[in-house]
């Protein structure tokens, strides 16, 4: 579990925190680590007053790990 927590919290969250706003042109932002925000829907998003979506930190960890997994698949296929 320690390895999974490291992957999700450090690598996945950090990647999503940097890349989600870039890839979505600012429409999706990631909440602060372990924030106490409430009101997220079942998909892990919450709409902010400015119209942007806020992604829950737990979901962001999974999104970041998914980005790395897709990158590894692309590299493996290119070799």
Distance (Å, rounded) from C-alpha 66 to C-alpha 15? 10
pLDDT at 50: 94
pLDDT of residue 73: 98
Whole-prediction pTM value? 0.83
From first to last of its 79 residues, the chain has per-residue pLDDT tens of: 788 888 788 899 999 999 999 999 999 999 998 778 888 999 999 999 999 999 999 899 999 999 999 999 999 999 8
Place of tokens 């980005």: 67
């Amino acid at each position: 579990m320690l390895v999974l927590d490291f992957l999700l919290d450090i690598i996945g969250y950090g990647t999503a925190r940097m890349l989600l706003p870039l890839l979505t042109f600012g429409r999706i932002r990631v909440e602060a680590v372990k924030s106490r925000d409430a009101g997220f829907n079942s998909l892990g998003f919450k709409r902010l007053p400015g119209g942007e979506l806020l992604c829950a930190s737990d979901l962001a960890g999974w999104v970041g790990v998914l980005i790395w997994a897709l990158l590894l698949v692309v590299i493996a296929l290119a070799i």
